[in-house]
A and B are shown apart, each in its own frame.
Chain A
């Protein structure tokens, strides 16, 4: 049995819209093991992105327990949480969120600016990571000189260059054509299977969800199904 990585118990989250409090997550409990690849699915407004944001430490719950690798991240201050994210979380967004003024190399180097690595060490690691995602020949290209699929691969390289504990992906194939989406999913699968990366992915796409080992369904802020893929 792989060790437990994320433990969620009775998690509650709501947003305030005007004077009204809108509940988003009701009493969610979930366990994610190290090396898992989970797809969070559900209709719009089901709370899947909110759950992902809470696990990634970019939002705070109203109540409940959320521990990652034994650390209760709900108790961390903003500064501590930023440091925690830098070391533990790799982000992959639907619209890639690359810095348009930076080259592919510089974008991947960005999270390494928060480490104590030397320039030479950073260079070595960025080159290795970009080679891993098949973009060794595109290092000096700017995002607007790359296709959507290539941009998402740069984003994947940026997410894994610091060797984080968890990769959180918010609709990583949502803005890609079929072939690019398939390439990106294949890459995530390899990262999970060959490098043991724990991946939590929000998706609407049932085909994308098939890449995961487990699919968790949410509806109206409640966990309604948690099952392994075939």
Chain B
């Protein structure tokens, strides 16, 4: 049994990788760009799903069965509370205001200040701030990311120009909440639904005591389907029939509207990988052609065709891994930059572990596929033909 070539073999591969320095460098740069582009595009897709990924399994969302734009009577809450398995119910209503300019977009919600944060333990804030928020009818609670973005401090006045609820609304910042983990979004604003309802009572009495969504906490997450059915059954044949679903499904409902865009981004990210695969395959084909005499010499000396193929595979893999690892390392600072620029679009823009693993897998696949044809050809070439290549 022959001893397997070890360090010597690795050294030979490493030296071969950097033999044609310019060509190898350009190929590695191409790989870096492709892996970074793939990572950023995947992160864009992840960012779209960030909200649904952070959704709780123990929360349901109820909306008007016809459409989200139609409200439901506030008294539904009392009947929901009687449904078996419902632990508590809170209110959530999209506000859709503008802070100074439209480009400063961030989500605002009117909520039931009494229990909203009880249902969202992922938002962490000091107890005194929560009390201050609850006590002040015009009080607002904002996420840390949003507060940092606009430099807001506790006690600041925040004017919001309403688009659905006309006029300029003034809120006082009473609480700043942090995220319990990386998946939680902290780029939104909450304030009292009572404050909005009071305004409706004066301006548009027919729209008062109406709410966009109910958020329901269940006592057993494994029974969410049954509880959702029971809630909707409660309001069947009423003026505003309901549609109750898990918070995740509710979030995914928004994303599904952008399904084609997400699909396109996914396709583009893989096209980028396919292109670099062709580039690396071309590099390896040129390399193998230039070295046909060396491979023939190795075979003449007694090395088998498998050894020659392994040399080519090893070189392609090392090339793609160098580019892949550098690309992955570069993705993190670039994603941070993109996250800052696109903060108004993506509340969370973090490179996930699965994206890194996919980048690494892509680099490996590029290396293996690029070496397939040249490796197979070089392994099969006859020694005399390879040696004849000289002069």
List A residues at the B interface (Cβ < 8 Å): 53, 56, 58-59, 78-79, 82-83, 85-87, 89, 91, 93-95, 97, 99-102, 106, 109-111, 113-116, 158
Contacts and interface: CB of A to CB of B under 8 A. Distances in A.
Interface in B1-45: 1-3, 5, 8-9, 11-12, 15-16, 19
A102 B298 CA distance: 13
A85 B9 CA distance: 20
Contacts of B298: 110
A46 to B, nearest CB: 16
A106 B8 contact: yes
Given A59-B384, A95-B391, A113-B5, A100 B19 contact: yes
Contacts of B293: 97
Given A79-B304, A109-B8, A97 B390 contact: yes
A110 B16 CA distance: 15
Contacts of B390: 93-95, 97
B308 to A, nearest CB: 11
A83 B1 CA distance: 11
B225 interface: no
Contacts of B301: 85-86, 91, 110-111, 114, 158
B378 to A, nearest CB: 15
| CB-based closest 5 A-B pairs | A86-B302, A101-B15, A58-B383, A97-B297, A113-B5
Interface string B286-297: 000000011001
A101 B16 contact: yes
25 contacts: A58-B300, A58-B384, A59-B384, A79-B304, A82-B299, A85-B300, A86-B301, A91-B297, A91-B300, A93-B297, A93-B390, A97-B294, A97-B387, A97-B390, A99-B12, A99-B294, A99-B297, A102-B12, A102-B15, A109-B8, A111-B302, A114-B302, A114-B303, A116-B1, A158-B301
Interface majority SS on B: helix, strand, loop or mixed?
helix
Interface in B344-391: 382-384, 387, 390-391
Interface residues of B, number: 28
Contact of A56 (B3, B300, B382): B300
Interface of B: 1-3, 5, 8-9, 11-12, 15-16, 19, 293-294, 297-305, 382-384, 387, 390-391
A89 to B, nearest CB: 8
A79 B297 CA distance: 15
A53 B302 contact: no
A83 B9 CA distance: 19
A110 B15 CA distance: 15
B16 A83 contact: no
Contacts of A59: 382-384
A198 B8 CA distance: 30
Contacts of B383: 53, 58-59
B2 to A, nearest CB: 6
A226 B164 CA distance: 108
A110 to B, nearest CB: 7
B391 A85 contact: no
A167 to B, nearest CB: 13
A155 to B, nearest CB: 10
A180 to B, nearest CB: 18
Contacts of A78: 304-305
Tell me which of B3, B297, B298, B305 has the highest count of chain A C-beta atoms within 10 A of its own C-beta.
Answer: B297
B15 A82 contact: no
Nearest to B13: A101
A53 B297 contact: no
A101 B290 CA distance: 14
Nearest to A50: B384
B44 to A, nearest CB: 42
Contacts of B12: 99, 101-102
Tell me which of A79, A94, A101 has the highest count of chain B C-beta atoms within 10 A of its own C-beta.
Answer: A101
Contact of B303 (A82, A109, A115): A82
B23 to A, nearest CB: 14
Contacts of A82: 299, 302-304
A33 B328 CA distance: 63
Nearest to B2: A114
Nearest to B14: A101
A93 B387 contact: yes
Contacts of B382: 59
Contacts of B300: 56, 58, 85, 89, 91
Nearest to A118: B3
Contacts of A114: 2, 301-303
Contacts of A101: 12, 15-16, 19
